[in-house]
Amino acid sequence: MANPDVCRDRYGSFQPDVFKLFSCSMCYAYLFPREGYLTPNGTHLVPRDLDGPYPEGTSVIANVENSDAVHKVCKTLTSDECSRWTRCCHAAIRCCNRQLNEPLRNTTELFCPRTWDGFGCFGDTDASQMVHINCPLYIEHASPWELAYKECTVNGTWYRNQLTDSEWTDYTECVVKENFSTILHISLACSLFSILLLIPACIIFLKVRQLRAQKRVRLHISLFISFLMACVVSILWDFIVYKDRLENEKELTIMNENSGWCKFLYILIRYFGTTIFFWMFCEGFFLHRLIVHAFKVPKKLRWYYLCGWVLPALPVGTYAVIRVSFEEYNTECWVPHAGDYEWIIYVPNLICILANLFFLVNILRILLTQMQSHPNEPSNYRKALKATFVLVPLFGLQQFLVIYRPDDKSALFIYEAIASIVQNTRGAVVALIFCFFNGEVHTHLKCILKRKWRTRSVKSDLSRKGSNMSTQCTTIGRRIAISNDPTSPFLPLSPSGNTVEELFTTPLTNGHMKKLNSNITAYGDADL
């Protein structure tokens, strides 16, 4: 039983060396049928567009194993397109090796021969059988959990397309636009939900003087604004650019036009996305500093504003300059992956997340140490411990839920949906926890509403009752340890309005421990 010495594709059988070049040139034609600058000519690629990088008469060998040849071909492609083309070529080579290594069939029954169809590899198949493969990822927008089908007819030949009279494989199910549309709608819904919560949360923080005076709340406002702006530019991008790409052919899209405003919108997405990570770092650093460094509240927040709004512009600006400077990256509104240059933005964001993880672990360490020093107060420390875990969304640590992209192709759509929900509801989550579910906010709003109600309903007694209400609100504010002095290190406590002394019923001589629980509870129980 002899092994075959040729490799087959839809156009016939070739010697392995010829097959590798021919199939690679055809990969270029199949992947880029209209937008490619080159066109196949046997084992070579020749210019078909005089506006391309090569003059008429140039011939480039389609040899993916030759770095110089790959560079010449990829000069006509974006980095993402180059990656897809080389992967297709390598898949064809693997298919050829598979054909050479598999034994020939020793049977008189009809069957379709092993073949490479231009995108996928199929083995010997019995007549009247339908076989399938997973959709290759180098097909643009292909869904890897979908299947491509190839039919072996009753007479033992591969099904042929009646229009082209060539062997045909059904890849129509590979590009499922409904899946991308579903992800788009999930993203839009979550972003709108976040905006609807972030706007009133910012208004509340800015309008209520007692809240606005607290430095902790000022940091919250900046974080909320960064979330809000990220959601706004994300919605604009999805509606204007991404939706357009889903509904139209590539060469007719805004992305293909590669206009300046489109690039600017994309860089805004990257900038505000980065400011979120930096402001979450500022939140983590602020609380960690309060706990570790004797609860010294910074007199000014200018360094926090510099870190949150200015520093993100450095990596994003550098990234933009590189995109403009290199022609292969200055395409399609900068959406295609820029290779290792993406780490210019990834690294600062990762550093912020890892720093916040360190802050949270150290805060837990301090709590556990104090619990060992005061074992008679487990309930209070349980509250503080629970409050610490509420810091997870504020510190952005939920990113670890989607940091790993699964290899399981069937789980990829689920991952994309979950990732979209996690990414686009971050603003909604922090707005709910640190504003709408916040006991301190409830107290101030109740006082304001009661004052306005009494003012309207009892106009004749406005002076007396307004004075009583003001005194009552001041008393409540003192009971929950809300200081009107913005430099005060004490932060609001539980929603019930308990003071530090009432919350910690067992006398403590350790004043540091009282302040520790006060500050932790301010970010936790009081914010719930």
Which residue in 484, 489, 488, 483 sits closest to 292, CA to CA?
489
Residue 163 has φ and ψ, to the nearest 5°, of -80, -40
* 371 and 436 both lie in a single domain: yes
- Among 422, 443, 464, where does a domain finish? 443
Which residue in 312, 250, 241 sits closest to 276, CA to CA?
312
* 434 and 455 both lie in a single domain: no
Residue 261, SS3 per DSSP:
helix
Residue pair 73/46 in contact by the 8 Å Cβ criterion? no
Q: DSSP per residue over 51-100, as a string?
A: TSSS-TT--EE--TT-HHHHHHHHTTS-HHHHHHHHHHHHHHHHHHHHHH
**Helix (H), strand (E) at residue 501:** helix 500-503
Q: List beta partners, residue 121.
A: 116
3-class DSSP string for 388-450 = HHCHHHHHCHHHHHHCCCCCCHHHHHHHHHHHHHHHHCHHHHHHHHHHHCCHHHHHHHHHHHH
Tokens at 343, concatenated: 């780490």
Distance CA 152, CA 156 (A): 6
Classify residue 333 by its DSSP letter: G
What is the pLDDT at residue 146? 84
Residue 268: domain span:
177-443
Distance CA 168, CA 276 (A): 49
In-domain check, residue 165: no
The Cα angle at residue 379 between residues 377 and 383, in degrees rounded to 5:
120
The Cα angle at residue 453 between residues 452 and 455, in degrees rounded to 5:
65
What is the pLDDT at residue 451? 81
* 394 and 288 both lie in a single domain: yes
Residue 162 has φ and ψ, to the nearest 5°, of -70, -25
In-domain check, residue 166: no
Distance CA 295, CA 214 (A): 14
Tokens at 159, concatenated: 């099904």
Which residue in 486, 487, 480, 485 sits closest to 522, CA to CA?
480
Residue pair 505/368 in contact by the 8 Å Cβ criterion? no
Helix and strand element counts for the chain (H, E):
20, 11
Tokens at 117, concatenated: 């169809």
In-domain check, residue 172: no
In-domain check, residue 213: yes
* 416 and 482 both lie in a single domain: no
Distance CA 345, CA 354 (A): 15
In-domain check, residue 263: yes
Tokens at 196, concatenated: 């609807």
Tokens at 304, concatenated: 């926090």
Q: How big is the chain by its Cα radius of gyration, in Å? A: 32
In-domain check, residue 273: yes
Residue pair 6/14 in contact by the 8 Å Cβ criterion? yes
Q: Which tens digits make up the pLDDT trace of 37-96?
A: 899 999 999 998 666 678 878 899 999 999 999 999 998 888 888 989 999 999 999 999
What are the residues whose beta carbons fall under 8 Å from the beta carbon of 326, sequence distance 6 or more?
A: none
Which residue in 524, 437, 432 sits closest to 194, CA to CA?
432
What is the pLDDT at residue 518? 52
Distance CA 330, CA 324 (A): 5
* 386 and 245 both lie in a single domain: yes
- Among 421, 443, 465, where does a domain finish? 443
* 488 and 407 both lie in a single domain: no
* 425 and 473 both lie in a single domain: no
Q: How many domains does the chain have?
A: 3
* 247 and 130 both lie in a single domain: no
Distance CA 299, CA 487 (A): 6
In-domain check, residue 37: yes
- Among 407, 423, 443, where does a domain finish? 443
CATH of residue 275's domain is: 1.20.1070.10
Residues of the chain scoring pLDDT < 70: 1-4, 49-52, 294-295, 374-385, 387, 404-411, 457-528
Residue pair 184/242 in contact by the 8 Å Cβ criterion? yes
Label the pairing between strands 12-14 and 7-9: antiparallel
Q: DSSP per residue over 171-204, as a string?
A: -TTT--HHHHHHHHHHHHHHHHHHHHHHHHHHHH
* 409 and 458 both lie in a single domain: no
Distance CA 148, CA 135 (A): 6
* 452 and 429 both lie in a single domain: no
* 455 and 431 both lie in a single domain: no
Distance CA 221, CA 304 (A): 12
In-domain check, residue 57: yes
CATH of residue 81's domain is: 4.10.1240.10
Residue pair 93/20 in contact by the 8 Å Cβ criterion? yes
* 228 and 279 both lie in a single domain: yes
